[in-house]
Structure 1
Amino acid sequence: MATTYAYKVRDKQGALVEGTLDAESEALVANRLREMGYALISIDAQADSALKKDIKIPGFGGKVKLKDISIFSRQFATMINSGLSLLRALHILSDQTENAALQQVIHAVAADIESGDSLSDAIAKHPKVFDRLYVAMVRAGESGGVLDSVLMQLAETIEKQVELRAKIKSAMTYPIAVLMLVIMILSGMLIFVVPMFEAMYSELGGTLPLPTRLLLQASNLVTSYLIFIIIGAGIGMFVFKKWIATDSGRANFDKMQLKAPVFGGLVHKTAITRFARTMESLLRAGVPILEALEITQETVGNHVMEIAVADIQHRVKQGESMAAPMSDHAIFPTMVTQMLAVGEETGAVDTMLDRVAAFYEAEVEATVNALTSLLEPLLIVVLGGTVGGMVIALYMPMFNIVNLIE
């Protein structure tokens, strides 16, 4: 079992570099670091190595984005197709990669290949950067002698994932921003503006209109218990994050997302897109169908879909087609089931899945555009109505100021 070792080294310029590396022994870590061109200072085994399965680079902002992986895959494919060896291509990519975390991973992958590992085995040691989908497709590309084609296909698949995420994010950003603005305006008025009017009205005496009284009571509640409200909100967010981290919590939350009145359709179409695109990519690369279903189950991102894919895999293992068990799960629309059935009959499952993915990618884009068109005016009305309602409630006594003075 691999152990995680914390190391301190100096690079060729003499700068201190610290990080962690997984290996079977301290000697292997030392050899790998020397091969990467570092001068060793210290290497220490970490007790919690089982929890750390990838390279950590403190001080370098060690996150590798999907876009970085996409660019790496496309450039790697181009170099291999041009006749460069794996190692030479990796060294070039390492030198020109701007992301420090990815650069370290590429260094480690190159060192593993020099030690005798295959490319798929080398990248499999970095699951936080290269997921099972990536590793399985690379392994299939190595077996079939079409690594450059598979890497280019991976780049295209990842680019579509990035584009899909960007579309969903664009649909969510505006309403969240407006909601936060409403909360900030409400809080500011209740904490700072309303108490000023309350002091003025208390001097005038008389009976205030009901909307004004309710607004003043809300202001008193917020100002009196502000610290408890903030603490309660923090506890609520913490409990929610812990809840969705559990299997039952995530299952229930994913079901609620699918049934959400406005965004449920978008969540559903996104899940179908991920399923179809992942399966299409794996099958086109030559990954066996059972392994493809297993990997898709892990990467599809929705618990309801995961259960459905697990059932499909189980029944395919027993000799059934994919379309038959798929029709038993409501999350798969009839069109998807029928197209897959035709694909199985004609031996073109990957082609049909590609068409399904393309159709639902277009559906996601149309849904995002429709939601944006619907939500923008609606949220403006909500924002204006909220602020306007508070202003009217504050100034209602002014309309009857003479009666209040009397």
Structure 2
Amino acid sequence: MPAFAYQALDANGKTLRGVLQGDTARAVRGALRERGLNPLSVGEVNEGGSKSRSVFARRTLGAAQLALLTRQLATLIGAGLPIDEALGALSEQAENERQRGLTVSLRARVMEGASLAQAMAEFPDSFPDIFRATVAAGEQSGQLDRVLEKLADYAEARDALSQKILAALAYPLLLTLVAVAVVTGLLTWVVPQIVGVFQNLHQTLPLATRALIALSAFLRSWGWLLLIALIALATIARLSLRNESTRYRWHALLLRLPLVGRLARAANTARATRTLALLASSAVPLLDALGIAAQVVPNLPMREALKRAAFKVREGSAFSRALGESGQFPPVALRLIASGERSGQLPRMLDEAAAQQQRELDRWMTALTAVLGPAVILAVGAMVLFIVLAILLPIFNLNQMVK
């Protein structure tokens, strides 16, 4: 029985939203009228398909919400509840209509006879390929609760990695924005009021003062044009990166940069190996795992390296050798993978490779944050020093300029 999201008016004219199960939208409208509600819109909860379907279904779950939902489902199934009852319990305690609509729809598909993985496949924006493949393997092996626990750990680790990168970059970025705002304010408002006095003396000003006056005049006259140009360049760059070949060249350039390349390589390697560890430990075939892992790696050259490795593994090559031939992955990770292949403990060594790359990324992010902050402060200090000197130099020579 499908699930339908609705909007309806109660007797007081208040708009209510919710999710009901029914055979058809007409049946759901009838059920709402029996409750004394006036239905405004009713749409089937499904992420694909027609435009008339509910807005609840078109919104995806965030990483933290997905991790929480997965862990709760694992706990309930581990406690012995059938999947449909576990999903029903989750729908009752859902925090918002989006989660409630999703869990109700999943429960409806499961009650129709679909597996949990098949039900998730109807919501690809909320449940990525790795979730669907891993859940399918867990259902086949009879270890769905354990697999869901690993999926929850994976989702939380991936979200923590993203949050850690954002937190590390937030301070230097905020400092840069404040510095640009301060310097721009000095040049466009403070400097003109001070150096305007020197221009009336009709004497040759020091080079630094003339440069400061010219820069201030340019920003006051053409600052708006400069801002428009920067916005236009950012828009053009963003549109250009939608082209896969352009994005591939940009990602390849990032990997060649001294520090940024190391960070990008570590982050993408950690994501790939963690995904492979989860899939391999859940009995997903290696070739299928490589295809899924390639989709979760955002860097295109490294994604292509995983796809080529899958092709070579299909031809009989060892996984570590196939991955190493691309030259895109760190040697330490490749050695750990090779050790796992020789010992028959590939999932554990893949997990160890992910942890090692995570430590490497944390170390470099800490170093980068420690360098960028003082560097921005020094740059701002140098600019302010230049402004102060450019203003003071004419004052030092004021007696000669007056004579």
TM over 0.5: yes
Q: How far apart in 1 are the matches of 2:179 and 2:167?
A: 19
Gaps of 5+ in 1: 21-25
Provide, for residues 280-331 of structure 1, a one-character-per-residue CA deviation record: whole Å limited to 9, x for no partner.
0111111111111111111111111101001001111122221122121121
Q: Does 1:191 align with 2:166?
A: no
Q: Secondary structure at the match of 1:225?
A: helix
Cα distance, 1:357 vs. partner?
0.7
2:61 counterpart residue number: 64
Secondary structure (helix, strand or coil) at the match of 2:328 reads coil
Contact 1:18/1:57, CA 8 A, preserved across alignment: no
SS in structure 2 of the partner of residue 97 of structure 1: coil
Match in the other structure for 1:248: 245
Give the 5 Å matches for 1:329-348.
Answer: 329-348=326-345
SS in 1 for 2:292: helix
Does 2:377 correspond to 1:380? Answer: yes
- Alpha-carbon RMSD across the aligned residues, in angstroms, is 3.2
Q: Point out where structure 2 has 5 or more consecutive residues left out of the alignment.
A: none
Q: 1:181 matched to which residue of 2? A: 178
1:161-217 per-residue CA deviation (whole Å, 9 max, x = no partner) reads: 112112211221111111111211121112211221232222122111111111111
Q: Distance in 2 between matches of 1:377 and 1:119?
A: 51
Pairing of 1:24-63 with structure 2 (within 5 A): 40-42=39-41, 56-57=55-56, 62=59
1:54 and 1:356 mapped to 2: Cα distance?
43
SS at match of 2:384: helix
Match of 1:114 among 111, 116, 140: 111
> What is the deviation of 1:134?
0.9
Ranges of 4+ aligned residues in structure 1 off by more than 6 Å: 11-14, 31-39, 51-54
Aligned counterpart, 2:8: 10
Which shows bigger deviation, 35-44 or 166-175? 35-44
The alpha-carbon distance between structure 1 residues 265 and 31, as it changes in their structure 2 partners (threshold 3 A), is farther
* Match in the other structure for 1:279: 276
**Structure 1 residues 105, 237: CA separation in 2 closer, same or farther (over 3 Å shift)?**
same
Give the distance between the partners of 1:234 and 1:285, measured in 2 at CA: 47
C-alpha distance in 2, partners of 1:199/1:314? 70
**Displacement after TM superposition at 1:11 (Å):** 8.5
Distance 1:39 1:70, change over 3 A: farther
Q: CA deviation at 1:91?
A: 2.1
Matched with 1:86 is: 83
Deviation at 1:116, TM superposition (A): 2.4
Partner of 1:138: 135
Give yes or no for contact 2:265–2:329 (8 Å, CA) kept in 1. no
Taking structure 2 as the reference length, the TM-score comes to: 0.88
Mapped contact 1:133–1:295 kept (Cα < 8 A): yes
Equivalent-residue separation in structure 2 for 1:389 and 1:359 (angstroms):
45
Q: What is the aligned partner in structure 2 of residue 355 from structure 1?
A: 352
Partner SS state of residue 56, structure 2: coil
What is the TM-score of this pair, normalised by structure 1? 0.87
Matched, 1:369 2:366: yes
2:227 is matched with 230
- Corresponding residue SS for 1:10: strand
Tell me: CA distance 1:54–1:41, structure 2 relative to 1, closer, same or farther (3 Å).
closer
Contact 1:290–1:313 (Cα < 8 Å) also in 2:
yes
The 1:209–1:390 alpha-carbon spacing in structure 2 relative to 1, beyond 3 Å, is same
Is the contact between residue 208 and residue 397 of structure 1 (CA under 8 Å) also seen in structure 2?
Answer: yes
Matches of 1:56 and 1:196, distance apart in 2 = 55
Q: Which whole-Å CA distance do the structure 2 matches of 1:287 and 1:40 have between them?
A: 45
**What are the within-5 Å matches in structure 2 for residues 158-173 of structure 1?**
158-173=155-170
Q: State the identity %.
A: 28
Aligned-residue offset at 1:248: 1.5
Structure 1 residues 366, 84: closer, same or farther in 2, change over 3 A?
Answer: same
C-alpha distance 12-167 of structure 1, shift in aligned 2 (>3 A): same
Q: Which amino acid aligns with 2:90?
A: L
- Residue 264 of structure 1 pairs with residue 255 of structure 2: no
**Partners in 2 of 1:209 and 1:326 — Cα distance?**
61
How far the C-alpha of 1:113 sits from its partner, in A, is: 1.7
Q: CA deviation at 1:117?
A: 2.0
Name the CA distance, whole Å, in 2 between partners of 1:166 and 1:52.
Answer: 33
Structure 1 residue identity aligned to 2:244 = D
Contact 2:43-2:52 at 8 Å conserved across structures: no
Please name the residue that 1:23 is paired with.
Answer: none
| Segment drifting more, 340-349 vs 169-178 | 340-349
Measure the CA separation in 1 of the matches of 2:28 and 2:132: 22
What's the offset of the Cα at 1:43?
Answer: 5.2
Task: Return the alpha-carbon distance in structure 2 between the equivalents of residues 54 and 241 of structure 1.
Answer: 31
- The AA in structure 2 aligned to 1:308 is A
Contact 2:4–2:25, Cα closer than 8 Å, also in 1? no
1:391 aligns with one of 388, 393, 399: 388
Q: Is the 8 A contact 1:119 1:138 kept in 2?
A: yes
Q: Following the alignment from structure 2 to structure 1, what is the Cα–Cα distance between the partners of residues 338 and 119?
A: 37
Equivalent pair of 2:73/2:86 in contact (CA under 8 Å): yes
- What is the number of equivalent residue pairs in this alignment? 394
